[in-house]
Amino acid sequence: MTTNVLFAANDALWQDYRDPLRKALAEVGVDANLSTDIPAPKVDYIVYSPGSDLQDFTPYTRCKAVLNLWAGVENIVTNPTLDMPLARMVDEGLTQGMVEWVTGHVLRHHLGLDTHIMHQDGTWRHDPPPLATDRTVAILGLGQLGQACGEALAGLGFDVAGWSRSPKDIPEITCLHGDDGLKDALEKAEILVLLLPLTDETTDLMNAARLALLPRNAVILNPGRGALIDDDALLAALDLGKPAHATLDTFRTEPLPPEHPFWAHPQVTVTPHIASETRPSSAARVIAENIRRGEADEPFLHLVDRDLGY
């Protein structure tokens, strides 16, 4: 029997994903009708981007699951009409991209590369950085991405602490949780990496009070979600030198408006949401595997917990 898969996203994404999805579905043995135009009562699965025009899931009475193209689900998880399983994107390409971005910028700040580049004025400044073993990196969020980044940094010798809402046990990472654990992580974070999902509990997590817990020369990296940080509180804290720098890849409004003070602030580096991009070829395999599982009555992968919001 043919499986009807509705691709509910914009035209550009359809052009990117159409062929990889058809190939991936064929490789897992699913006879699929993949289209952007399938009558709602006949749809078996929805491949979804939160920017889609599809906002009312009520007519999709036969749909077995909604398969999100992105890791973040904050723009869909609270939709009251969505009563079928929702899977987020956990993709090897996305994970690898995040590890590369985080590792690159941690090393950039650890080695003081910005200072060396800015001060090429003919003066020999012999100021070697500490070894990685003498530098603490704290990661807020120990999901798939946070754990992968923590393991990569620990492999380079960094002292890695990780914080999560619930207890975790990850070799080579000091795992913290709860309010006391968050305070401990922030107080020791010479480099802080934000990789938490965006929920009601994590919105504005890095407010003035928590920013004040950081060591004076700390650096913040945010490749997670823009609203994890209170923008005004961060700008005020940067002006006081605590933290010393913020490298930001995600923002409340994207693209970041030209007039936003982050662009001109000397202690802010802006990157244009490039830390972890979903690659169609690898993401298509994740989606196809979940559809295969659904057709075989096997458990779906990467299901979202509606109560937690991720």
Same domain, yes or no, for 149 and 8? Answer: no
* Distance from chain centroid for Cα 38: 31
Q: 54 in a domain, yes or no? A: yes
What integer is the mean pLDDT of 236-257? 97
pLDDT at residue 192, as a whole number? 98
Same domain, yes or no, for 118 and 37? Answer: no
Q: What are phi and psi of 89, to 5 degrees?
A: -85, 120
pLDDT at residue 120, as a whole number? 80
CATH number at residue 135: 3.40.50.720
3-state secondary structure the chain: CCEEEEEECCHHHHHHHHHHHHHHHHHCCCCEEEECCCCHHHCCEEEECCCCCCCCCCCCCCCCEEEECCCCCCCCCCCCCCCCCEECCCCHHHHHHHHHHHHHHHHHHHHCHHHHHHCCCCCCCCCCCCCHHHCEEEEECCCHHHHHHHHHHHHCCCEEEEEECCCCCCCCCEEEEHHHHHHHHHHHCCEEEECCCCCCCCCCCECHHHHCCCCCCCEEEECCCHHHECHHHHHHHHHCCCCCEEEECCCCCCCCCCCCCCCCCCCEEECCCCCCCCCHHHHHHHHHHHHHHHHCCCCCCCECCCCCCC
What integer is the mean pLDDT of 279-284? 94
Q: 228 in a domain, yes or no? A: yes
Same domain, yes or no, for 199 and 97? Answer: yes
Same domain, yes or no, for 114 and 226? Answer: yes
Which residues, including other chains, have CB under 8 Å from residue 206's CB and lie 6 or more apart?
A: 194, 220, 228, 229, 230, 233, 234
* pLDDT tens digits for range 150-192: 999 999 999 999 999 999 999 999 999 999 999 999 999 999 9
* Distance from chain centroid for Cα 275: 8
pLDDT at residue 50, as a whole number? 85
What integer is the mean pLDDT of 253-272? 97
Same domain, yes or no, for 80 and 139? Answer: no
Same domain, yes or no, for 204 and 231? Answer: yes
Greatest CA separation for the chain: 73
Same domain, yes or no, for 120 and 196? Answer: yes
Q: 35 in a domain, yes or no? A: yes
Share of the chain above pLDDT 90, in %: 90
Q: 304 in a domain, yes or no? A: no
What integer is the mean pLDDT of 39-52? 96
Asked if the model's pLDDT at residue 118 lies above 80, the reply is no
Catalytic residue among 225, 245, 285, 292: 225
* pLDDT tens digits for range 48-69: 998 899 999 999 999 999 999 9
How many domains is the chain partitioned into structurally? 2
Using pLDDT thresholds of 50, 70 and 90, give the confidence band for residue 119. Answer: confident
Same domain, yes or no, for 101 and 82? Answer: no
Whether the model pTM is above 0.95: no
**Active-site residue flag, 225:** yes
pLDDT at residue 219, as a whole number? 98
Q: 107 in a domain, yes or no? A: yes
Same domain, yes or no, for 99 and 51? Answer: no
252 closest CA partner among 238, 269, 232, 267: 232
pLDDT at residue 122, as a whole number? 86
Helix, strand, coil percentages for the chain (3-state, nearest 5): 35, 15, 50
Q: 303 in a domain, yes or no? A: no
What integer is the mean pLDDT of 195-199? 95
| E strand intervals along 42-119 | 45-48, 65-68, 86-87
Catalytic residue among 165, 260, 265, 273: 273
pLDDT at residue 86, as a whole number? 98
pLDDT at residue 124, as a whole number? 87
Quote the mean pLDDT of the chain: 96
Using pLDDT thresholds of 50, 70 and 90, give the confidence band for residue 270. Answer: very high
If you compute the radius of gyration of the chain from its CA atoms, what whole number of angstroms results? Answer: 21
**Active-site residue flag, 273:** yes
* pLDDT tens digits for range 3-30: 999 999 999 999 999 999 999 999 999 9
Same domain, yes or no, for 83 and 227? Answer: no
pLDDT at residue 81, as a whole number? 97
**Residue appearing with tokens 């289209």:** 35
Q: Domain range for residue 241?
A: 92-270
Q: 219 in a domain, yes or no? A: yes
What integer is the mean pLDDT of 118-136? 89
Same domain, yes or no, for 235 and 260? Answer: yes
